[in-house]
Structure 1
Amino acid sequence: MSRKPSIAVILAGCGNKDGAEIHEATLTLWAIHRHGADYQCYAPDKKQHHVLNHITGEEMAEERNVLIEAARIARGDIKSLAQFDAQAHDVLILPGGFGAAKNLCTYAFDGPECTVDESVAAAVQAMYLAKKPIGALCIAPVILARLLPNVMVTIGSDVQTAGHITRMGGRHQNTTHGEIAVDTANRVVTTPCYMLDARVDQIGEGAERLVLALLEMIEK
């Protein structure tokens, strides 16, 4: 590939309890640049499910927008997911955080019967049909299990969530800190991150391995 690979990153807001997990998102962006690729961040332009106090965990009496909150991580360089064009990108990555299960889909509330935000589903399915690699971190692999047939993913070793993935038609591979699960047939790479009791360096290790595996898939 003569140009730098372009990676689309879908963010779910800002903050692990109600948006995108900041360590996972930032270390993913770091790994993308470290290994010679470029990225463009996206997020749905809609109200986030709720706003939580990240010290107490209690709900706050205010409303926030997923795109505007995600712009905090992207330093303002972000696009509405409604503008997503699969032809413009070589890889798609979804970092985790509870926002992935609250704002990108309804898994936090509906479990294996969850629905996926229309703009998220359209982006994932467009990349999948184009046979372009897709990555997901932490809880975000449940989105892929809901959308893609017989996909193999990991969320670490949580029995209940792994069972939900099976109920959605996916397959689960147990992993530990920094490990990745690679589904070669579906061109999907996942890593557990904070689905385990992890340190930030372990998050970085998993994110970097995921990005490297996805970049290798581009050439295959």
Structure 2
Amino acid sequence: MKIGVLLAGCGVFDGAEIHEATLTLYFLDKAGVETLIMAPNIKQKDVINHLTGEPMNEERNVLVEAARIARGNIVDIDQVKAEDIDGLIMPGGYGVAKNFSNFLEKGAEADVIPQVKRLLVELFKAGKPIGAICISPVIVAAALREAKPTVTIGTDVDVAKTIEAMGARHLSCPVNEMVVDEENKIVTTPAYMLGKTIKDVAEGIEKLVNEVIRLAKK
């Protein structure tokens, strides 16, 4: 079995959330599952100094930055088709919203970048599971509007309302649990949308990983 892991860069404020990405890869490896790590070869929306929280006057590439987490073992998402993997997991981080969509600007009317939307739609049509962590469910909801998926980002009322305005259904969920949309094979967990420490988010992510694996075997 091979599960794809889609990264939005490297770093919570402008890329993929590193703890969520690492835990995802760890639990997949622990379960004996092969991974295919990927990212789009695009410019980051912005670059944030993670020490000060302030913007930096420089440019970075999402694929190049994500390669840090992947230890260089990563491919351009454009090279990946649904037939290459048995499912996909997308860790969170602000970079997901910033680099994969215009969610921060357009909210419920957000568009997902073609590279990411294409693969999500392919996987959905192929009946293969998609796991989305933290803020990533907004990308799933925006990309798969017609499916009206059931997802969670935890208990954030404003984001939940935006997700429902996209046509999806939102369920509140504690950090150590997940929401499973069995019909659409979509699994979501709040992670750092709710959790305060790495141990808080680990339990929910492990459950999500194992559920994606279970659905991939169906």
TM-score range, shorter chain: over 0.9
Match of residue 160 from structure 1: 158
CA contact (8 A) 2:195 2:201 kept: no
Q: Which amino acid aligns with 1:195?
A: M
The one of 137, 142, 155 aligned to 1:141: 137
Structure 1 residue aligned with 2:202, among 201, 204, 217? Answer: 204
Percent identity reads 48
Give the CA deviation at 1:36: 1.3
* Structure 2 Cα separation of the partners of residues 156 and 55 of structure 1: 27
Aligned length: 216
Aligned residue number for residue 173 of structure 1: 171
| Corresponding letter in the other structure for 2:206 | E
Any stretches of 5+ residues in structure 2 without a counterpart?
none
2:143 corresponds to which letter in structure 1?
A: L
- Give the conservation status (yes or no) of the 8 Å contact 2:10–2:16: yes
Q: CA deviation at 1:206?
A: 1.2
Match of 1:190 in 2: 188
Render the CA deviation track for 1:15-57: whole Å, top value 9, x for unaligned.
Answer: 0000000000000000001011010111010100000011111
Is the contact made by 1:82 and 1:119 (CA closer than 8 Å) also made in structure 2?
A: yes
Task: Quote the offset at 1:154 in angstroms.
Answer: 0.3
TM-score normalized with structure 2 length? 0.97
The answer (yes or no) to whether the contact 2:16–2:93 under 8 Å persists in 1 is yes
Deviates more, 1:197-206 or 1:12-21: 197-206
Mapping of residues 91-110 of structure 1, within 5 Å? 91-110=87-106
- Cα offset for 1:113? 1.3
Decide whether the 8 Å contact of 1:98 with 1:108 is kept in 2: no
Indicate which of 15, 21, 24 corresponds to 1:25.
Answer: 21
* Distance in 2 (alpha carbons) for counterparts of 1:218 and 1:51: 35
Whether the 8 Å contact between 2:2 and 2:86 is mirrored in structure 1 is yes
| C-alpha distance after superposition, 1:157-206 (max 9, x if no partner) | 00000000100010001011211000000000000001114210121111
Runs of 4 or more, structure 1, over 6 Å off, are none
The counterpart of 2:32, out of the listed 25, 32, 36, is: 36
**Structure 1: 5+ residue stretches without partners:** none
